[in-house]
Homo-oligomer: A and B are copies of this chain.
Amino acid sequence: MHFDKDTIVALATAPGTAAIAVIRLSGTSAFDICNSVFTDKNGFPKKLSLQKSHKLHYGWICSDNSLIDEVIISIFKAPHSYTGENTVEISCHGSVFIQQKIIQVLINSGARPAKAGEFTLRAFLNRKLDLPQAEAVADLIASDSQASHLLALNQMRGGVSQKINTFRQQLIHFASLIELELDFNEEDIEFANRSDLKQLVGDLQNEIQPIILSFKEGDVLKNGIPIAIVGKPNVGKSTLLNALLDEEKAIVSPIPGTTRDAIEDEIIIEGVRFRFIDTAGIRNTTDEIESIGVSKTFQKIKHASVVIYMFDVMEITPDELLQSISELNVKQILVVGNKIDCLNGTELTKKFIDRIPEIIYISAKQRINIHQISNRLTELYSIDVINKNDTVLTNARHFEALKKTSTALERVNNGLNSNLTGDLLAADIRNALLHIGEITGEITTDDLLENIFNKFCIGK
């Protein structure tokens, strides 16, 4: 990767008008560039390169002798900064005009606008963090539930990297022994004990497999568990959503302005985001004309982690219900009988509870037994999974690379079983190492880095 030594600048805080905004400047010339536009409160320049790191300075940003803003600047000296380079953060008044003006004068003084993710890319290139940690920074910024936050935080603190690095060190050890054999090829010496290698490959597979499997859960915990609520019209689907939302709202939000409210069909229960998928149309299964709509609904059901099948206790018989459920044919189903307030206890017990006790009986309207649904969802998808396992995979790139690593290891294992020669074994081990190295960023290509950091916001 070509390492650009330019000094880069970008707005680091969210765009828009606010009390303050922060502009970040990073690179070898960061202090000199800032120097040329910054004066202390008396209008005297301040030699920033002579100041101590981690200090705040009050003063003014000026250009061509005209004042732009009263600011506080933060000094971070290389390597003690996020990027590992000299860095200045300018905290200015949060007017969009002022933000642009300051960025403009810094550009005029020699900085250039940062590309998306370029600050974090530099942090990676300066070995302040490895690739999964860099990726976790983006995840952390995007995190919007306790689960996604916790997953990103674990990854940023090196959860994934440590595991992968241990695997890598062990493989490198054996790879180097086998490579050594190749140098002494004609002498037919085995430096690498084959049964030790077989043992190692087996151990690695045993450790890698659960991590690969953790992706399925990690992915939905990070992005929200897709839940399909299925049921005829007017069984009370949106009333249930409101009831679930109300229950959580009361717990979650003493701070005004939680954004979640705007997204109707997403509910965070005990820190986990559940995405409720609209599946209107299930009623027309017998209607040929609308079969396209129905097949779409079944597509959605297929992609859901859980299907909530909701029915009206007044409108259906237990036999019809059991029939409908068996037709659905899904892995994880939660059957919910609504409108129990319309039947008296004896009727309800006689008609349903005695016959199908495992169903959750609720009144969405009267908010009865709603917590049973949220409890059940929380049992299925809980942040405890993250707390119990230090390595839960959430990144599709890591998932793919680990699968490839596993396949390569499988080939190494097969090779060992069939007494493959050292050079062929070495090729398979190298292949495993390549994929494992791609995860931590020991092995990178420009394309890979561009692909990763392009997804960042500008300013990070």
Q: Are B74 and A141 in contact (CB under 8 A)?
A: no
Q: Are A13 and B15 in contact (CB under 8 A)?
A: no
Question: Cβ of A27: which chain B residues have Cβ within 8 Å of it?
Answer: none
A286 nearest CB across to chain B (Å) = 45
Verify if A430 is at the interface (C-beta below 8 Å from B): no
Task: Among B21, B144, B458, point to the contact of A14 (Cβ < 8 A).
Answer: B21
Q: A12 and B19 in contact (CB under 8 A), knowing A54-B56, A95-B143, A254-B104?
A: yes
Question: Cβ of A157: which chain B residues have Cβ within 8 Å of it?
Answer: 67
Task: Among B22, B94, B141, point to the contact of A91 (Cβ < 8 A).
Answer: B22
Q: Are B255 and A100 in contact (CB under 8 A)?
A: yes
Q: Which residue of chain B lies nearest to A21 when distances are taken between CB atoms in the complex?
A: B13
Question: Cβ of A418: which chain B residues have Cβ within 8 Å of it?
Answer: none
Q: Which of A192-200, A222-230, A256-264 contacts B (4 or more CB under 8 A)?
A: A256-264
Verify if A285 is at the interface (C-beta below 8 Å from B): no
Q: Are A149 and B16 in contact (CB under 8 A)?
A: no
Q: In the complex, what distance in Å separates the CA atom of A54 from the CA atom of B46?
A: 16
Question: Cβ of A14: which chain B residues have Cβ within 8 Å of it?
Answer: 13-18, 21, 94
Q: Which residue of chain B lies nearest to A101 when distances are taken between CB atoms in the complex?
A: B149
A38 nearest CB across to chain B (Å) = 15
Q: In the complex, what distance in Å separates the CA atom of A457 from the CA atom of B72?
A: 20
Q: Which residue of chain B lies nearest to A19 when distances are taken between CB atoms in the complex?
A: B460
Task: Among B21, B54, B103, B156, point to the contact of A70 (Cβ < 8 A).
Answer: B156
Question: Cβ of A70: which chain B residues have Cβ within 8 Å of it?
Answer: 156
Question: Cβ of A460: which chain B residues have Cβ within 8 Å of it?
Answer: 18-20, 94
Which one of A89, A95, A157 has the greatest number of beta carbons of chain B within 10 Å?
A: A95
Q: Are B13 and A141 in contact (CB under 8 A)?
A: no
Q: Are A95 and B149 in contact (CB under 8 A)?
A: yes
Q: In the complex, what distance in Å separates the CA atom of A372 from the CA atom of B11?
A: 36
Task: Among B55, B94, B156, point to the contact of A13 (Cβ < 8 A).
Answer: B94
Q: Are A141 and B22 in contact (CB under 8 A)?
A: no
User: How would residues 69 to 90 of chain A score, 1 for a CB under 8 Å from any chain B CB and 0 otherwise?
Assistant: 1101010100000000000010
Q: Are B141 and A255 in contact (CB under 8 A)?
A: no
Q: Which range holds the interface residue count of chain A?
A: 35 or more
Q: Are A74 and B56 in contact (CB under 8 A)?
A: yes
Verify if A107 is at the interface (C-beta below 8 Å from B): yes
Q: A19 and B13 in contact (CB under 8 A), knowing A56-B56, A95-B140?
A: yes
A8 nearest CB across to chain B (Å) = 12
Q: Are A119 and B19 in contact (CB under 8 A)?
A: yes
Which one of A16, A18, A67, A149 has the greatest number of beta carbons of chain B within 10 Å?
A: A18
Verify if A110 is at the interface (C-beta below 8 Å from B): no
Q: In the complex, what distance in Å separates the CA atom of A90 from the CA atom of B257?
A: 19
Q: In the complex, what distance in Å separates the CA atom of A55 from the CA atom of B89?
A: 13
B-facing residues in A115-163 (Cβ within 8 Å): 119, 137, 140-146, 148-149, 153, 156-157
User: How would residues 304 to 348 of chain A score, 1 for a CB under 8 Å from any chain B CB and 0 otherwise?
Assistant: 000000000000000000000000000000000000000000000
* Residues of A bordering B, CB below 8 Å: 10-22, 24, 54-58, 67, 69-70, 72, 74, 76, 89, 91, 93-98, 100-101, 103-104, 107, 113, 119, 137, 140-146, 148-149, 153, 156-157, 254-259, 457-460
Query: What are 22 contact pairs spanning A and B, CB under 8 A?
Result: A12-B94, A13-B21, A13-B22, A14-B14, A15-B18, A17-B141, A17-B142, A17-B457, A19-B457, A19-B458, A19-B460, A20-B24, A56-B74, A67-B153, A72-B74, A93-B137, A93-B141, A96-B259, A97-B143, A98-B140, A100-B258, A104-B255
Q: State the 8 A-B residue pairs at the shortest beta-carbon distance, nearest first.
A: A19-B460, A14-B18, A14-B16, A13-B13, A19-B459, A14-B14, A54-B56, A12-B19
